[in-house]
Amino acid sequence: MIKLFKRLGDKFYMLFRVYYYWSVVLKQWFSGKYMRHLFLPFVGFEPNKGVLYPEMTRANRKDYVSDYFRWVTSYKINNPYKYFFMDKLNFFFFIKSFSDKVCPVLGYYSKEGSYTEIMHPEAIPFSFDKIIYKPNKGTKGGGIEIAPRHDSSGKKYRDYIACPFLVQDNYASKIFPDALNTIRVFTGILDRKAVCICAVHRFGRKGVKGVDNFSQGGISALINLQDGKMVKACYFNGKERVSVDTHPDTGSPIVGVTVEGWREMLAEILELQQRIAFIRYLAWDIAMVNGSYSIIEANHVSDVDLYQCHGPIMTDANQKRFFSQYK
């Protein structure tokens, strides 16, 4: 009986995911922005991908990871472990068991507003003068606030975490100094071995609330996995994909710049993915800071548009084999 209810629960969950996919599609249909691409949802893609993926054709569509895969299929892969990643406080304690590179958490504001200290500020191994407050279950940079370390406003947060505000004093800060510009590294398990599927560097822009989120208008720069060099960059304004070589606000070069410490960071992230191989894939958000790196969070289900705005990500044998495991 228990197994029957579990099966029914799984089926209802998948039906909900299908419903969610079509709800996203309907929202885009009714926006009227993508009338030329109304057919795409019937082959697995949201209408806006007809604009964001201008190189996608009927011939090469199979090389793109579909939105249906992202909204429906991928949720099955890590579903038993989702609460490690949907809850930022859970994530901190989970990853801290395996790595000392996870971004520190100073404390937690409960749903009632009470504060519990987790790490004393003096225990943080680097200096900081601001605190970033994040919704514990927030996504896409929503609800984030930044305040001075000794802020006396007395504002109450509910179900929030407080973290030291990381400052990048390196190539990323030169490109755009007003946001924490993170790397999204997509890793997974193939033939029992950790592999990196793809990676992009995200950069904030003026007018997108101090975050680097691609869905809010931030820049995505494709990283060459071998040497860490950024080879393409673009952002999406809702109407078209805009390719750039330099940052539109600062004029600093993006394309051709190499991520400092790339090889060391990637090797350690792959080692970490191998240690938690029961989690079949993860999309890590990583900031290069203090001559090293800090793991901000990891996503058990990842957007794919910030990778595929540069082209399909199933172009070599390993990438195809990785995704074909779950079809």
Q: Mean pLDDT, to the nearest integer, of 190-195?
A: 96
* 307 phi and psi angles, rounded to 5 deg: -90, -50
Q: Are the beta carbons of 201 and 183 closer than 8 angstroms?
A: yes
Question: For residue 280, is pLDDT > 90?
Answer: yes
Q: What is the pLDDT of residues 15-66, one digit of tens each?
A: 889 999 999 999 999 998 898 999 999 999 999 999 999 999 999 999 999 9
Looking at residue 105, its pLDDT comes to 96
pLDDT of residue 3: 63
d(CA 162, CA 146): 10
pLDDT for 114-169, tens place per residue? Answer: 999 999 988 888 888 889 999 998 877 778 888 888 765 667 899 999 999 998 98
Whole-Å CA distances, 282 to 45, 90, 135, 203 = 22, 15, 21, 20
Q: What domains sit in the chain, N to C, each tagged with a CATH number?
A: 2-79 (no CATH), 80-101+169-324 (3.30.470.20), 107-164 (no CATH)
What tokens does 305 get? 């548009």
Q: Which residues pair with 220 in a beta bridge?
A: 202, 234
Dist CA 200 CA 221 (whole Å): 5
Q: What is the pLDDT of residues 63-121, one digit of tens each?
A: 999 999 999 999 889 989 999 999 999 999 999 999 999 999 999 999 998 999 999 98
β-strand partners of 166: none
What is the spatial order of strands in the sheet that 294-299 belongs to? 241-243, 230-236, 219-223, 193-203, 183-190, 281-287, 294-299
How confident is the model at residue 169, as a pLDDT?
A: 85
Cα 299 to Cα 58, 128, 140, 280: the distances in Å are 30, 26, 11, 12
User: DSSP string of 184-250?
Assistant: EEEEEEETTEEEEEEEEEEE--TTSTT---GGGT-EEEEE-TTT-BEEEEEEE-SS-EEE-SB-TTT
Cα–Cα dist 250/11, whole Å: 49
